[in-house]
Amino acid sequence: MTSFLASSSQEGFDLVDDNNNYLFDRTVKKLGALADNEMFGLEPAYILGGEIKIF
């Protein structure tokens, strides 16, 4: 698992908004860096539909 994650690019895990802009860097800039035991999530879950945007 560690080898897989170490050889992967950030873009491979990042989501894009309706304008094809990556979300992670903008989210960190707006909300701040995460601690080791935190993660960003989408609410409601992205799979349920709706647009992706940072509030």
pLDDT tens column, 24-39: 888 899 899 999 999 8
Q: Is residue 35 part of a domain?
A: yes
The number of distinct structural domains making up the chain is 1
- The answer to whether residue 13 is domain-embedded is yes
Residue 15 and residue 1 in contact, taking contact as beta carbons nearer than 8 Å: no
Q: Which domain holds residue 20?
A: 2-48
Confirm whether 44 is domain-assigned.
Answer: yes
Residue 43: inside a domain: yes
> Is 11 inside any structural domain?
yes
In a domain, 54, yes or no: no
CA–CA distance, 47 with 5 (Å, rounded to integer): 23
Tokens linked to 2: 């560690």
Look at the pTM and tell me if it is higher than 0.85.
Answer: no
Mean per-residue pLDDT over the chain, rounded = 78
